[in-house]
């Protein structure tokens, strides 16, 4: 497998970035440089680190029009939404900045006469952060900001599909005053080279966001070392619409949760269970909502749904749809000209509404990562919860109901790291973002957002000799 980076725009399949790839030997040198930088940077006061990051965020904000256009070119999201990722990234970073002092403060021990006893939080060293392409700024900032605030040096591996994100972040953080080699880009296209990189001795912590398959490979590659690993992986997230739900409202929210970003989100809705009493009405409302969506050129501000990331993604999504139809699913997608007339170039695939689905179908068992809405009829709350838990994944799940007390009872039984009532597809910066089952290991965001990026050191100080 070549290590070179050849980024094609999903909307044109034309090249927009090339790089020979960072070799394992070059990565080792970068890691050594990072370690030397870390030895000084770890002594930088937290107030100085915060000031640098705040300035970097301002530089990013000042250039967000350019960054948004680059983001649309690299991963195909409609331009109308790309700037929102930049804005949300800043809000997440500001939250992390606001809790940094408390999160990194020493922990006092119990009082003991003649002693001072406490636990300090020390930076781990060189951190390797491997991001994903579907929300590259948001995903990267989840790890980058706490890593730098905690006093670590960072080797940043942007996704080969969004390599400019890594380049820009380094550019603006350096402009903001981050010392040389504290943050460096590592462009890796080969998984074999990635295996070698995460084994580099100077790297003391690995933060990886991507597929479950990729995360398991990272764990295997680091298994011979005592090194921290944080994994944010895939999902096959579920939603349950109870019989008392506000059906038009819920239909609009679920379509958005399933189709936004062309369904390319680890926490997008990929399975919908609907109580039999409202099933048919729900399907009708979903059809109405889907008819308002426009698939097309992502540079057009009226476009709601752009291409998926690659030609291979089109094949994978189409295979899931074909598998469902072959096993008895019904294509209930509304007739819509904007879905049937696809652009001649690019990786476009129309959103699909499937009914009469079951758990024998791939789209109900695996991560489709595309704009597909499979709807399954259920007879009761109990059946819905049982089916929602019948999955190897556990990132998010949602229940839609007017009976909040009943909704809380149901979500308490669901096996997922984040559960919602009357909401979906939304990571809150002040709550832990964590995957259960095959959806992850460790967490980002929330009060524990810094935990992976420091190690504990206990101090016992006898203040006077007997």
**By the 8 A CB rule, do 68 and 82 touch?**
yes
Residue 267 annotated as catalytic: no
| Burial letters 132-146, b for 16+ CB under 10 A, else e | bbbbbbbbbbbbbbb
Distance in angstroms (rounded) separating the CA atoms of residues 109 and 448: 20
Cross-strand pairs, 209: 232
334, exposed or middle or buried, with CB in 10 Å at 0-12, 13-18, 19+?
A: middle
Burial of 226 (0-12, 13-18, 19+ CB in 10 A): exposed
For residue 124, report the phi and psi dihedrals to the nearest 5 degrees. Answer: -80, -30
Rounding to the nearest 10 degrees, give the CA dihedral for residues 423, 246, 235, 133: -60
DSSP state of 390: S
- Per this entry, what is the length of the chain? 466
Q: Is 266 a catalytic residue?
A: yes
In degrees to the nearest 10, what's the CA dihedral of 77, 80, 83, 84? Answer: -90
Give the Cα separation of 348 and 366 in Å (integer): 21
Strands 183-185 and 153-157: parallel
DSSP state string for 178-198: PPTTSEEE-----HHHHHHHH
Phi, psi of 173 (to 5 degrees): -70, -35
Residues 202/204/205/211 CA torsion (nearest 10 deg): 50
Query: Which residue is catalytic, options 70, 85, 202, 266?
Result: 266
| 200 close to 31: Cβ distance less than 8 angstroms | yes
Cβ count within 10 A of residue 103: 19
Hey, which residues does 203 pair with through a beta bridge?
126
Closest CA to 299 of 101, 465, 81, 59: 81
Q: Decide: helix, strand or coil at residue 63.
A: coil
Catalytically annotated residue among 70, 232, 270, 366: 232
**Which tokens sit at 266?**
């680890």
Judge contact between 140 and 445, C-beta under 8 A.
Answer: no
Q: How far apart are the first and last CA of the chain?
A: 67
Residues noted as catalytic: 232, 266
């Amino acid at each position: 497998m070549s290590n070179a980076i050849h980024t094609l725009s999903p909307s044109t399949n034309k090249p927009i970035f090339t790089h020979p790839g960072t070799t394992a030997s070059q990565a080792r040198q970068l890691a050594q440089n990072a370690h030397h930088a870390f030895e000084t940077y770890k002594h930088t006061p937290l107030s100085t680190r915060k000031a640098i990051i705040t300035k970097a965020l301002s530089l990013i904000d000042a250039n967000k029009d350019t960054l948004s256009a680059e983001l649309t070119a690299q991963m195909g999201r409609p331009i109308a939404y790309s700037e929102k990722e930049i804005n949300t990234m800043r809000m997440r970073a500001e939250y992390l900045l606001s809790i940094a002092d408390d999160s990194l403060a020493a922990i006092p021990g119990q009082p003991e006469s003649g002693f001072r006893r406490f636990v300090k939080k020390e930076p781990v060293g060189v951190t390797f952060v491997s991001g994903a392409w579907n929300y590259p700024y948001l995903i990267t900032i989840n790890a980058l900001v706490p890593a730098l605030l905690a006093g670590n040096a960072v080797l940043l591996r942007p996704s080969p599909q969004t390599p400019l994100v890594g380049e820009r972040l380094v550019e603006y953080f350096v402009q903001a005053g981050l010392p040389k080699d504290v943050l460096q880009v590592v462009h890796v296209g080969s998984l074999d080279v990635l295996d070698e990189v995460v084994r580099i001795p100077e790297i003391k912590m690995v933060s990886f966001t991507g597929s479950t398959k990729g995360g398991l490979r990272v764990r295997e590659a680091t298994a011979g070392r005592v090194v921290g690993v944080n994994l944010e992986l895939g999902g096959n997230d579920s939603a349950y619409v109870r019989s008392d739900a506000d059906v038009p409202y819920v239909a609009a929210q679920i379509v958005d949760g399933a189709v936004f970003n062309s369904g390319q989100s680890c926490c997008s809705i990929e399975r919908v269970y609907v109580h039999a009493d409202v099933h048919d009405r729900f399907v009708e409302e979903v059809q109405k909502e889907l008819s308002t969506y426009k698939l097309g050129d992502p540079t057009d501000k009226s476009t709601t749904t752009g291409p998926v990331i690659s030609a291979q993604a089109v094949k994978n999504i189409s295979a899931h749809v074909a598998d469902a139809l072959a096993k008895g699913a019904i294509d209930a997608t509304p007739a819509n000209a904007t879905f049937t007339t696809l652009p001649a170039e690019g990786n476009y695939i129309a959103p699909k509404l499937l009914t009469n689905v079951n758990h024998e179908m791939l789209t109900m068992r695996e991560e489709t990562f595309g704009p597909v809405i499979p709807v399954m009829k259920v007879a009761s709350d109990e059946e819905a919860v049982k089916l929602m838990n019948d999955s190897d994944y556990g990132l998010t799940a949602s229940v839609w109901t007017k009976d909040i007390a009943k909704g809380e009872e149901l979500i308490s039984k669901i096996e997922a790291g984040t559960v919602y009532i009357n909401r979906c597809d939304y990571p809150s910066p002040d709550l832990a973002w964590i995957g259960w089952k095959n959806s992850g290991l460790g967490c980002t965001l929330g009060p524990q957002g810094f935990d992976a990026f420091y190690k504990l050191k206990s101090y016992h100080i006898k203040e006077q000799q007997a």
